[in-house]
Homo-oligomer: A and B are copies of this chain.
Amino acid sequence: MRTDYCGNINSSYLGQTVTLCGWVNRSRDLGGVIFLDLRDREGVVQVVFDPDLADVFETAISLRNEFCVQLTGLVRARPEGQVNKDMSTGEIEMLGQSLTILNKSAALPLDWNQENSEEQRLKYRYLDLRRPLMSDRLKFRAKVTSTVRGYLENDGFLDIETPILTKATPEGARDYLVPSRTHKGQFFALPQSPQLFKQLLMMSGMDKYYQIVKCFRDEDLRADRQPEFTQIDIETTFLDAEGVMAITEGLIRDLFQKMLSVDLGEFPSMTYADAMRRFGSDKPDLRNPLELTDIADLLKDVEFKVFSGPANDAKGRVAVIRVPGGAKLSRKQIDDYGKFVGIYGAKGLAWMKVNDLAAGMEGLQSPILKFLNEDVAKAIVERSGAQSGDILLFGADSNTVVTEALGALRLKLGEDLELLEGQWKPLWVVDFPMFEEFDGQFHALHHPFTAPRNMTPDELAANPAGALSNAYDMVLNGCELGGGSVRIHKEDMQAKVFSLLGISDEEAEVKFGFLLEALKFGAPPHAGLAFGLDRLVMLMTGATSIRDVMAFPKTNTAACPLTNAPGEANPEQLKELSIQTVIEKKAD
């Protein structure tokens, strides 16, 4: 029906007659000549209809936005002064010689020149996706997956599919359940990740596995969460953490090079402890130059209890952020930052301006200066590296509160004061603790299949709180792109970790009996990683939500305004599935 794409027609086609199919992007009658912008996936081309060609002109008059048409015309140079260097087709125009309306369009429910509500955009997704901004993102995404596949397959990875109808998993989020018809009263779960299946594939000797695969979490949604999302899932045999990190870092570096012509260089590596200490985050944005500086040791003996209390508490922390040039912050601005850190539990935000470094105490300005002697003040200024014109912002509380509050404040200051440097700052975060302790219980920081670093089961049991895992997260610009670990491949270690996590032998048997059994039969050392594809593409395209890089996302109540899913089920079918709905009546 066509000889080429609209977006491909340029001056190399001059003098040729081509046939195109596409949509009316815009149509104008300018002094008796009709100008039509015809659009397809590859771009827009300008078509001119001359009243001398009466038949075609007649049809052209009837065109409205988004009519779908087939057009044959002659490619000719645009008149001087009408050349548009910003368009790939901007040097030429087409003289319309034949025009067929393939399908008309009713008036559009969306005006593309306005901001439309998320609900409207999703309800008419097929129109929203016609916008070049959106179709370019889907094209970009397709190229990303293709590039990733090429890289991994070239390295010997096999694309192997794992089941979507699986057993419920114990990971953090809620499973989506699927009632079984043949096994009455029982349920499948949709996978939160193919974690155990990919480990079983390593035990099957498949050696190097990857899959670009849908995963499911029935969580309350946020801007960057969706009920179904896509993972680049990777698992390898006989490789250690460094081996997996080398492959996956190479993958991302290759991707940025090919897609964006960006050289990410070698990724620095940072321990979890350093990341929390210096940046108050396990996924630090290294574009932000601000750092936290610990000063508890300087404040143990001051009379100011707000400082000396946490400084003398093993679970306390006292730290400052130095903001270069921050002495110009107003009282109002500082108060607002005080409220901001309150969100994270901080009871206030002490500050100290360094107006003139050379002037000693005279050059400092701070409501808390009266609580500090000169030596202490000097030591704080010196350690923080403060210069004239800087401000120091203090956190003093439990380790958790100070780290979270100053970590968040650091990001906010970076944005507000436009401090970010460089476009792309990747890093690895490593040496995570095996467990977090809360509610009187150990919880796996990654997941219960993560191996500890260099420990026997007995050593792990002797000091679980101090144990480090053999896990690694890849972070880019403050976002976790992916995370992985060396997995446990011995039955005794896996059983020990379950027991430390408070999983009883019975529960372990019911939920993970098959894994414990599989570990008995020569399970190999294995390790892997999973990337969040949606978030990766979002970052790379500069989109602000993963919804903008998915063809048909759900709303934040997990609904699809386009198809009206979810919907009522057929009562017959529910009966066959041996379930019924129970809607609680609202109280009167």
Interface centre among A165, A175, A240 (most CB of B within 10 A): A165
* A180 interfacial by beta-carbon distance below 8 Å: yes
Give chain B nearest CB distance to A570 CB in angstroms. 8
**B contact residues around A197 at 8 Å (CB):** 551-552
Contacting residue for A573 out of B23, B70, B138, B175, CB 8 A? B175
Is A370 on the interface with B (CB-CB < 8 A)?
Answer: no
Please state if A66 and B182 are interface contacts (CB–CB under 8 Å).
no
Q: Can you pick out 13 interface pairs between chain A and chain B where the beta carbons lie within 8 Å of each other?
A: A68-B524, A103-B490, A103-B519, A103-B525, A106-B521, A127-B521, A129-B201, A146-B153, A163-B552, A180-B558, A182-B220, A196-B563, A579-B582
Q: Which of A183-191, A349-357, A476-484 contacts B (4 or more CB under 8 A)?
A: A183-191
A145 adjacent to chain B (CB < 8 Å): yes
Min CB–CB distance A199 → chain B (angstroms): 9
A563 contacts which chain B residues (CB < 8 A)? 166-167, 196, 514
Query: Contacts A514-B563, A560-B163, A573-B177 known; A522 to B67 CB distance under 8 Å?
Result: yes
Q: Restricting to A536-588, which residues have a CB under 8 Å from any CB of B? A: 550-552, 554, 557-560, 562-570, 573-584
Tell whether A499 is near chain B: CB-to-CB under 8 Å: no
A13 within 8 A of B: no
Residue on B nearest A159 in the bound complex, by CB: B142
Q: Does A301 belong to the interface (CB within 8 Å)?
A: no
Q: How far is the CB of A166 from chain B (nearest CB, A)?
A: 6
Copies in the complex: 2
**Does A21 belong to the interface (CB within 8 Å)?**
yes
Tell me if A203 is interfacial: C-beta within 8 Å of chain B.
yes
B514 touches A165 (CB 8 A): no
What is the minimal beta-carbon distance from A5 to any residue of chain B, in angstroms? 8
- Taking the complex as formed, is A126 at the interface, i.e. its CB lies under 8 A from any CB of chain B? yes
CB-CB < 8 A to A24: which residues of B?
Answer: 522
A567–B1 contact, CB under 8 A?
no
- Interface positions, chain A 195-229, Cβ under 8 Å from B, are 196-197, 200-201, 203-207, 214, 216, 218, 220, 227-228
Find out whether the CB atom of A138 lies under 8 angstroms from the CB atom of B580: no
Contact check, A178 vs B181: say whether CB atoms are below 8 A apart.
Answer: no
Q: Is the CB of A567 within 8 A of B149?
A: no
Asked if A54 lies at the interface with its beta carbon under 8 angstroms from chain B, I say: no
Interface residues of A in 6-55 (CB under 8 A from B): 21-24, 39-41
Q: Is the Cβ of A521 less than 8 Å from the Cβ of B566?
A: no
Q: Which residues of A contact B (CB under 8 A)?
A: 1-2, 21-24, 39-41, 66-68, 70, 102-106, 108, 124-127, 129-130, 135, 138-139, 141-142, 145-146, 149, 153, 158-168, 174-190, 196-197, 200-201, 203-207, 214, 216, 218, 220, 227-228, 230, 237-240, 489-490, 513-514, 518-525, 550-552, 554, 557-560, 562-570, 573-584
Query: Would you call B103 and A565 a contact (CB within 8 A)?
Result: no
Known: A40-B207, A179-B177. A21 touches B524 (CB 8 A): yes
- Structural contact, A204 and B550, CB atoms closer than 8 A: no
Minimal Cβ-Cβ distance residue in B for A489? B103
Q: How far is the CB of A263 from chain B (nearest CB, A)?
A: 25
Q: How far is the CA of A163 from the CA of B566 in the complex (A)?
A: 12
Q: Are B184 and A583 in contact (CB under 8 A)?
A: yes
Closest to A179 in B: B177
Nearest B residue to A517 via CB reads B124
Complex formed: what's the CA distance from A567 to B184 in Å? 10
Query: Which residues of chain B are near A174, meaning CB under 8 Å?
Result: 181, 573, 576
Whether B238 pairs with A2 at a CB distance below 8 angstroms is: yes
**Docked-complex contact B205 and A23, CB < 8 angstroms:** yes
Given known pairs A207-B41, A573-B175, the reply for A182 and B581 (CB within 8 Å) is: no
* Chain B residues closer than 8 Å to A141, beta-carbon distance: 160
Contact of A165 among B21, B40, B158, B554 (CB under 8 A): B554
Cβ of B161 and Cβ of A550 under 8 Å apart?
A: yes
Please give me the residue from chain B that is nearest to A515 by CB atom.
B563
Closest chain B residue, CB of each to CB of A207: B41
Instruction: Determine the distance from Cα of A521 to Cα of B164 in the docked complex, in whole angstroms.
Output: 35
Are A521 and B126 neighbours in the complex by a CB distance under 8 Å?
yes
| Bound CA–CA A570/B167 (angstroms) | 12
Closest to A1 in B: B238
Q: Find A176's partner among B2, B160, B165, B567 (CB 8 Å cutoff).
A: B165
- A178, B180: Cβ atoms closer than 8 Å: no
Contact (Cβ within 8 A) A180 B130: no
A108–B124 alpha-carbon span in the complex (Å): 57
A582 lies within 8 A of B578 (CB): yes
Residue of B nearest to A575 (CB): B582
Which of B135, B165, B204, B240 has a CB less than 8 Å from the CB of A228? B165
B167 engages A206 (CB within 8 Å): no
A579 and B578 within 8 A (CB): no
Chain B residues contacting A126 (CB-CB under 8 Å) are 200-201, 203-204, 518, 521
Give Cα distance in the complex from A104 to B559, angstroms: 49
**Which residues from B are CB-within-8-Å of A178?**
176-178, 190, 566
CA distance A578 to B138 in the complex (A): 36
Q: Which residues of B contact A21 (CB under 8 A)?
A: 237-238, 524
Of all chain B residues, which has the CB nearest A42? B207
Contact yes or no, B227 A165, CB < 8 A: yes
Q: Which of A106, A127, A563, A568 has the largest number of chain B CB atoms within 10 A?
A: A563
